[in-house]
Structure 1
Amino acid sequence: MADYAKTAAGVLAGVGGEENVQSLVHCATRLRFVLKDDAKADAQKLRATPGVITTAQAGGQYQVVIGNDVPEVYAAIGAISKIGAGAGGAGDGAEAPKGNLFNRFISMISAIFTPVLWALAGTGLLKAFLAAAVTFGWIDTTTSTYVVLNSLSDAFINFLPLALAFTAARYFKASEFTSFAIAAALLYPAATALVGVEGLTFFGIPFTMANYVSSVIPIIIVVWLQSHAERFLYATLPAAVRRFVTPMIIVLLAVPLVFVVIGPLSALVSGWIAGGIGFVFTTVPWLGGALMGGLWQVFVIFGLHWGLVPLFTVEYQTTGQILLVAPVFAAVLAQAGAVAGVWVRTRNKTRRSLAAPATLSGFLAGITEPAIYGINLPLKRPFAFGIVGGVIGGAIMAAGGVFATAFVVPSALAIPALIGNGSTALMIVGLIAAIVIPFLLVVIVGFKEQAEDAPVAPATAETDLAVRSPLDGTVVALSETPDAAFADGSLGDGVAILPRSGALYAPFDATVAALFPTGHAIGLRSKDGAEVLIHIGIDTVRLKGEHFQVKVASGQEVSAGDLLIEFDLDAIAAAGYDLTTPVVVTNGDLYPEITDAASGPIAHGDALFVARAIESAAASVR
């Protein structure tokens, strides 16, 4: 089980300590900090923290990319500090975000929508599957079974204002249950029955009842106003009555204000937005699809995609469909296709081992951060090819009028949300194009493997590499490793060591070319291009960083004898893991022969083996 507390402590230290944190929220894969002083954050220390993928700065936030475990790390930060305790991602007690108006808007949207995202996506996915079942005739809409399934899949987005009332209240520091009371009044059956009724008045003031089901804008605006009104009333009213009089006054004023002013105005603005989207996707649909498909992942990198999330819900509330989502499927699957190409193309075994889970995460869950930050973006070309696939796939799907009927996180599993909506043929062609084009471009055109996080080999190698022992322990033959991939040399030739102490040292002067977030393995590259992988124990990746403490960062230059990783020998053994540690040369095409291998007891720094370069190995054969 991963040590989330250790990751949380490392992240807090890396951002300058708890005292430097102004607010914290999290999204699907990132911790989003607003720091008092960005200069106090140490990006290198953060990236070296087990469990951290990378860092980024955008939208007025300092972002720490964690991946799928971000909710657990966020909770662990709340447990060891006073930051975000109980916020569920909404930023309890957060100060107003700093920066320009646009950055503050992005930060606000992120904080308000993040806590509801997974529930919204999960019920949306269920609705997508139900819609597909109806399209294929697998379920009858007149049955009670359908009514139940439709209710549980449709209820959350229908009553979305109730959820946003809570998250907005947390963000604006308003009373949550007063906000809930306001949202409940907007959705009260007797009030919703007035939608479309003419001649409505409130104390003689005429108004038109807007539809607040699935709405976003009205509740956020009114909770913002509520927060200011509450502060004024609490400061003005006598202490004996303000606890119950304040909510009474707020509800009495806020709800009519929404019905008479905010609701009609927001409905007008929502209509304009939805109409504008509809105009683009009707007049030049391929252009709208190309822009969304090409730019979405760029927006994700800078955190700007949160500015588009409200547009999805506004479009859904106004039209019952989401045209903007279909091209996002192309954008997401295109990056997954690109990293799949890297998986196939790369000769680097370490990179291939990273590309495999990143591919599955992108395709099945729509989580592309591991692919983008770990592989595609550092290699540059795969990311660019992914954008090309997103542009082409998005244009094709938009040209076919493809849209979603539910709010979903775009992924292969969520494709049922698109079935039967627009041209099915062009949907299929667009999705295939989005995946296949970047995949083929990566496989055929290739990429330069000179990224900081990846080993790189020269075309030829002429200098042998003397590898010293990275551990205190006992040397055994690689064939004795209880892992078939290491034992048969599939991952490279070398030896294995049974460690007797929990410290791993650099076996030669090198660059840290690949550093696993879990700390269980490290890849080193010599100045002449020799690539050596050291894997501490067998299957220890399943410990997810527990009992490992990394002392270096990816891309760092190290000297022979420098401490690289510390690990708890006894704890790992007690957890049932074999500690046999393979030390293998992974680019055997350039270093095809291992000679002078040691055996028996050995201390770190002692001669372990010599990796013979291709020229000297060939000479020995001659």
Structure 2
Amino acid sequence: MADYAKTAAGVLAGVGGEDNVQNLVHCATRLRFVLKDESKANTAAVKATPGVVTVAQAGGQYQVVIGNDVPDVFAEIGKISRFGGGHDGSGGTPAAPGEKGSLFSRFITMISGIFTPVLWTLAGTGLLKAFLAAAVTFGWMDATTSTYAVLNALSDAFINFLPMALAITAARYFKANEWTSFAIAGALLYPTMTALVGAPELTIFGIPFTMVSYVSSVIPIVIIVWLQSHAERFLYRVLPGAIKRFVTPMIVVLVAVPIVFLVIGPISDLLGGWLGDGIGWVFSTVPWLGGAIMGGLWQVFVIFGLHWGLVPVFQIEFQTTGQMLLIAPVFAAVLAQAGAVAGVWVRARNKNLKSLAAPATLSAFLAGITEPAIYGLNLPLKRPFAFGIAGGALGGAIVAIGGVFSTAFVVPGGLALPALFGNGNMIMLGLGLLVAIVLPFILTIVVGFKEPSDEGVTVPAEANDVVVLSPLDGTVVKLSETPDAAFADGSLGQGVAILPRSGAVYAPFDGVVAAAFPTGHAIGLRHADGAELLIHIGIDTVKLNGEHFDVKVTTGQQVSAGDLLLTFDGDAIEQAGYDLTTPVVVTNPDLYPEVGTPASGPIAHGETLFSAIAVESLATVK
């Protein structure tokens, strides 16, 4: 059973602790951190934490990929820090606007922060709407019955009143009064106002305006809440304390709503219309191109976190056209990677690969959660990921040629397919998805890929016990005596600690440098049999930013036992106020869950430190 508390503790420690975290939210599969200083994050340690699939740094975020269990890990982080909280993704502390990074990175971070808390509810109600539409299409339910009316209301209400939900999340992000934001959104969707859509000769204070529909809209409320946040800060500063608490909301609502009706709404409606027409033109004129781009590149967008920039585009398309052409080819992209990892499952001779591929395949096919498949297998193995891109592009082109679209926002995957039923050419949909799945599946099986034992990837064909030599001259102490909780409790791996008496670190076995940190404070190594070792020189020494360290090797370099890896000035490091206790830990407990009886007391580099015990050995003993 997964230990979510252990994963949470390891991740939080690995990113530099709570004090290094500016913001934390989660999406379908990732913990999305905004860190104050990314150089303080120990990426190798985070990756080595049990329950972590991988780490991606993109879009101004430090993204820790967990998989389907991310809400549980997020909740556990909430128990040990001020971040995290419930299982809904809404417990993060909003990042301050104006955080560091490029304009595009800040935009992606903003979209992620505003949409993440509502994504699951939006997807869940959208899935229900898709099932309901399929039931009517296939004659399983009569659309004139009261049962249908009730189910339609509860599946359609959230997206209908989406601006009110986004008012809350945007207010939390921009640090505005969320209930004032809610009042603004309520005015936009007030029945009397929605009845005026398209009505002629409307005025506000004598100024003519055109009433547009704000149902399901996203842009107007986000812009006005951003303006609201600035207005509130100004009014709180200039108004007398006795009246500012109730006068500020009155002024903000009185000014903000007319601004939306007069300026923001009509402009966003015009731009949204252009965007919807543009998408429609591409998918009607050269549909194969639009489908190939979405089907082929979607998973690439996901890797870099850029897919968040498309989430509001989906919604704008739906608001202006009543359908989502863009989302249909994404089904091909998702199922293509599922087909590729299924090919890995069938083709692989390595039992560890098979054990990883089985749940990754099911998760990708059914739920559309592809991160375990991509980061755990397809991307490291290279060819399956490329085959998935090819299958997604071809399948997406066929789906788009068929004019297939969705009428609900869903997370693309097998369970969400009813969102496409009855919308476009179903033969082309079936053909496109079949091609998307079968092409990468067959290519992966026929063309194949390099097994990990041939490629030096983390999982060997047969994990064997590995003798780890001491990388340092010094004194061995118990890992539990390390003055760092994440190391002391074994969250980052089993092993020992060494109190150095010299400033040189040597290779403890033949292998490859998995991670040579530019700061020099740590180095990761991988043995040919699969054992992964982290040598962390000192506690919190990453804060030295490389001062007093001199790294002699590079990531990917082959080393032999006894080769010099790096040097450091121990006296200078201690004078700077840092503890030199050096943990030496095995970071892949799935293959090496235990270490044999370690050495104790004084030790010289090259002497046996401990043995990493493989799973196979433990199974044999039992």
Give TM-score, length-normalised by structure 1: 0.76
Name the structure 2 match of 1:568: none
In the superposition, relative to structure 1, how do residues 43 and 191 fare at CA in structure 2: closer, same or farther (>3 Å)? same
Q: Cα distance, 1:343 vs. partner?
A: 0.1
Q: Cα distance, 1:554 vs. partner?
A: 4.5
Write the distance in 2 (CA, Å) between the matches of 1:156 and 1:466. 54
The 5-angstrom pairing of residues 374-523 of structure 1 reads: 374-450=376-452, 451-456=455-460
In the superposition, relative to structure 1, how do residues 339 and 142 fare at CA in structure 2: closer, same or farther (>3 Å)? same
Name the structure 1 match of 2:587: 553
Amino acid at match of 2:62: Y
Write the distance in 1 (CA, Å) between the matches of 2:494 and 2:231. 59
- Quick one: which of 285, 288, 295 aligns to 2:287? 285
Write the distance in 1 (CA, Å) between the matches of 2:597 and 2:337. 36
- Deviations along 1:321-356, one digit per CA (max 9) or x if unpaired, are 000001000000000000000000000001101100
Name the structure 2 match of 1:159: 161
8 Å contact kept, 1:84–1:93: no
Asked whether 1:264 is paired with 2:266, we answer yes
Asked whether 1:189 is paired with 2:152, we answer no
The 5-angstrom pairing of residues 142-291 of structure 1 reads: 142-291=144-293
Write the distance in 2 (CA, Å) between the matches of 1:466 and 1:383. 29
Question: Equivalent residue of 2:63, what SS?
Answer: strand
Amino acid at match of 2:39: A
8 Å contact kept, 1:551–1:563: no
Write the distance in 2 (CA, Å) between the matches of 1:512 and 1:347. 23
Write the distance in 2 (CA, Å) between the matches of 1:7 and 1:337. 29
Write the distance in 2 (CA, Å) between the matches of 1:444 and 1:115. 42
Name the structure 1 match of 2:48: 48
Name the structure 1 match of 2:35: 35
- Deviations along 1:528-578, one digit per CA (max 9) or x if unpaired, are x6x89xxxxxxxxxxxxxxxx9942249999x96679xxxxxxxxxxxxxx
Amino acid at match of 2:163: P
In the superposition, relative to structure 1, how do residues 550 and 372 fare at CA in structure 2: closer, same or farther (>3 Å)? farther
8 Å contact kept, 1:511–1:556: no
Write the distance in 1 (CA, Å) between the matches of 2:384 and 2:56. 20
Q: Cα distance, 1:8 vs. partner?
A: 1.6
- Quick one: which of 317, 329, 332 aligns to 1:330? 332
8 Å contact kept, 2:494–2:585: no
8 Å contact kept, 1:178–1:251: yes
Amino acid at match of 1:231: R
Amino acid at match of 2:12: L
Write the distance in 2 (CA, Å) between the matches of 1:394 and 1:260. 40
Amino acid at match of 2:183: A
8 Å contact kept, 1:91–1:171: no
8 Å contact kept, 1:285–1:398: yes
In the superposition, relative to structure 1, how do residues 348 and 181 fare at CA in structure 2: closer, same or farther (>3 Å)? same
Write the distance in 2 (CA, Å) between the matches of 1:188 and 1:526. 65
In the superposition, relative to structure 1, how do residues 6 and 305 fare at CA in structure 2: closer, same or farther (>3 Å)? same
Question: Equivalent residue of 1:68, what SS?
Answer: coil
Structure 1 spans left out of the alignment, 5+ residues: 459-464, 471-501, 515-523, 533-548, 565-580, 587-596, 601-622
In the superposition, relative to structure 1, how do residues 319 and 503 fare at CA in structure 2: closer, same or farther (>3 Å)? closer
Write the distance in 2 (CA, Å) between the matches of 1:123 and 1:397. 24
Write the distance in 2 (CA, Å) between the matches of 1:468 and 1:210. 69
Question: Equivalent residue of 1:308, what SS?
Answer: helix
Q: Cα distance, 1:17 vs. partner?
A: 1.4
Q: Cα distance, 1:244 vs. partner?
A: 0.8
Which of 227-236 and 8-17 deviates more? 8-17
Amino acid at match of 1:191: M
Name the structure 2 match of 1:544: none
Name the structure 1 match of 2:8: 8
- Deviations along 1:385-417, one digit per CA (max 9) or x if unpaired, are 000010000000000101011100000111111
In the superposition, relative to structure 1, how do residues 228 and 503 fare at CA in structure 2: closer, same or farther (>3 Å)? closer
8 Å contact kept, 2:328–2:404: yes
In the superposition, relative to structure 1, how do residues 286 and 237 fare at CA in structure 2: closer, same or farther (>3 Å)? same
8 Å contact kept, 1:453–1:513: no
In the superposition, relative to structure 1, how do residues 197 and 49 fare at CA in structure 2: closer, same or farther (>3 Å)? same
Report the identity percentage.
69
Write the distance in 1 (CA, Å) between the matches of 2:73 and 2:394. 37
Name the structure 2 match of 1:294: 296
- Deviations along 1:214-264, one digit per CA (max 9) or x if unpaired, are 000000000000000010111111111111111111111111111111100
Name the structure 2 match of 1:95: 96
The 5-angstrom pairing of residues 345-384 of structure 1 reads: 345-384=347-386
- Deviations along 1:102-142, one digit per CA (max 9) or x if unpaired, are 00000000000001001000010111111111111111111
- Deviations along 1:272-306, one digit per CA (max 9) or x if unpaired, are 11111111101100000000000000000000000
In the superposition, relative to structure 1, how do residues 193 and 53 fare at CA in structure 2: closer, same or farther (>3 Å)? same
- Count of aligned residue pairs for this structure pair: 508
- Deviations along 1:159-208, one digit per CA (max 9) or x if unpaired, are 00011001000000001111101101110000000001011111110000
Q: Cα distance, 1:37 vs. partner?
A: 1.3
8 Å contact kept, 1:455–1:513: no
Amino acid at match of 2:345: W
Give TM-score, length-normalised by structure 2: 0.76
8 Å contact kept, 1:331–1:389: yes
Which of 29-38 and 3-12 deviates more? 3-12
CA RMSD, 1 decimal:
3.3
Q: Cα distance, 1:431 vs. partner?
A: 0.5
Write the distance in 2 (CA, Å) between the matches of 1:431 and 1:123. 24
Write the distance in 1 (CA, Å) between the matches of 2:66 and 2:401. 36
Amino acid at match of 1:552: V
- Deviations along 1:353-373, one digit per CA (max 9) or x if unpaired, are 110000000000000000000
Name the structure 2 match of 1:492: none
Name the structure 2 match of 1:583: 616
8 Å contact kept, 1:89–1:114: yes
Write the distance in 2 (CA, Å) between the matches of 1:563 and 1:327. 55
Q: Cα distance, 1:510 vs. partner?
A: 8.0
Structure 2 spans left out of the alignment, 5+ residues: 469-492, 497-507, 515-524, 532-582, 599-613
Which of 339-348 and 66-75 deviates more? 66-75
8 Å contact kept, 1:85–1:92: no
- Deviations along 1:417-472, one digit per CA (max 9) or x if unpaired, are 111111010000000000000000001100012355444569xxxxxx996999xx
In the superposition, relative to structure 1, how do residues 162 and 557 fare at CA in structure 2: closer, same or farther (>3 Å)? closer
Name the structure 2 match of 1:483: none
8 Å contact kept, 1:293–1:390: yes
Write the distance in 1 (CA, Å) between the matches of 2:380 and 2:162. 38
8 Å contact kept, 2:228–2:256: yes
- Quick one: which of 95, 110, 113 aligns to 2:112? 110
In the superposition, relative to structure 1, how do residues 243 and 358 fare at CA in structure 2: closer, same or farther (>3 Å)? same
